[in-house]
Amino acid sequence: MVTTATGMMRRGLSPSVSEVAEAAGVSRSTAYRYFPTQSDMLRAVVAEALGPILDWQAAEEASEARLGSLYGVTFPRLAEHEATFRAALRQSLEEGAATPDHRAFGRGHRLGLLARALGPGSCLPRSRGG
């Protein structure tokens, strides 16, 4: 379902859980068991797209090389999944205005990644989002 939802979002769609289930050939009851809400499905799609970025580990010694390595992983992945991130952002903004239980899609990763790239003693501000 995550693969199907990603494909639909790359085409500019904002699919519901039911629409993704139908496109994936999965029953609606099964789909809603894994993704009770559209937000849950979006989180899974975004997590899949961000996975290699969040899992990045520095192998280089120099901070400049580590930062280059991080950028080398990050920017191609962001460009590859831009349509997915735009669709997720669009849906989160629509849902955020309508639902009191709105949870963020996981902000604050960039500061931790940059701190890992720069190494011990880096002077980055603390993340407010997690």
Q: What pLDDT digit, counting tens, does each position of 69-93 carry?
A: 999 999 999 999 998 888 878 877 7
Please report, rounded to a whole number, the percentage of residues in the chain having pLDDT higher than 70: 82
Instruction: Specify the pLDDT at position 76.
Output: 94
* pLDDT class of 36 with cuts at 50, 70, 90: very high
**Do the Cβ atoms of 77 and 52 come closer than 8 Å?**
yes
- pLDDT for residue 90: 80
With beta carbons less than 8 A apart as the criterion, state whether 21 and 31 touch. Answer: yes
